[in-house]
Amino acid sequence: MTTRAISYRLVLPRPWTRLPVGRGLEERARDLVEEAAARLPKDAPPDQVGPWKREMQRRIVTDVRRAREYGGIDLYLPTDTMDGFLMGASFVVSEITPPGLPPDDPAAAIGGVLAELASSQDGARPISVADTVWVRTEKVVAPDPAQAPELDVPTRRVTYATAVPGDPRRWLTVAFSCVGDGDPDGEASIVSVELFDAIMSTWRWIHDGDDWPAD
């Protein structure tokens, strides 16, 4: 019998950072921005640092609030520059209830739900991560001012979905999006997706009774 998974762990490369969605949003965002600003070159012009800090904090708060609205548990985003630029990418771990999950025997329906997800969406395929079958979906999404008024370019999005081991009523999605350099098929977007897939390959479940406690 599979023991119940109560949390998870990921290995994050710099400059990716995890933000729990429901805890001290504004204060945590401010701390992250100050930490990132401390790593800027000492001779960085103050008239550029100030706007950079405000934009970074605005983006963090906006992304976390949006994640919370969609059942988000944790938001991950780069909180430092790479080669002098902010990465236009993020991903969120969310808890969902997939369609077609019967309330009386959800465990028996897991395979069918995964198969339905894989067959009903373009660019979807099953993939094994941490001894668990996920459905991975990749697509390009046109800008939607109603959802994200600050974005006016397409985004490349990758989503992983699965049932929580030992707890079939709970499902998780891990949804990644990036704008790259504005071209969803460009090298910057492709490299960002490859990095996200590499991060997902480090996913490990924390099971009830493990010595490694959950947050």
Give yes or no for a contact between 113 and 100, defined as CB atoms under 8 angstroms apart.
Answer: yes
pLDDT reported for residue 84? 57
Q: Which two tokens stand for residue 32?
A: 């992250």
Q: Which CATH class is domain 12-207?
A: alpha beta
pLDDT reported for residue 133? 94
pLDDT reported for residue 145? 61
Give yes or no for a contact between 209 and 3, defined as CB atoms under 8 angstroms apart.
Answer: yes
Tell me how far apart the alpha carbons of residues 142 and 12 are, in angstroms, rounded to a whole number. 28
Nearest in space to 69 (alpha carbons), one of 175, 182, 181, 201: 175
Residues 6+ apart with CB under 8 A from 204: 8, 9, 10, 130
The model's pLDDT over 45-98, given as tens digits with 9 standing for 90+, comes to 777 777 777 777 777 777 777 777 777 889 898 876 666 556 678 899 999 877
| Beta strands 81-82 and 85-86, pairing class | antiparallel
Residues of the chain with pLDDT below 70 are 1-2, 23-26, 80-87, 99-103, 145-152, 212-215
pLDDT reported for residue 102? 66
pLDDT reported for residue 108? 75
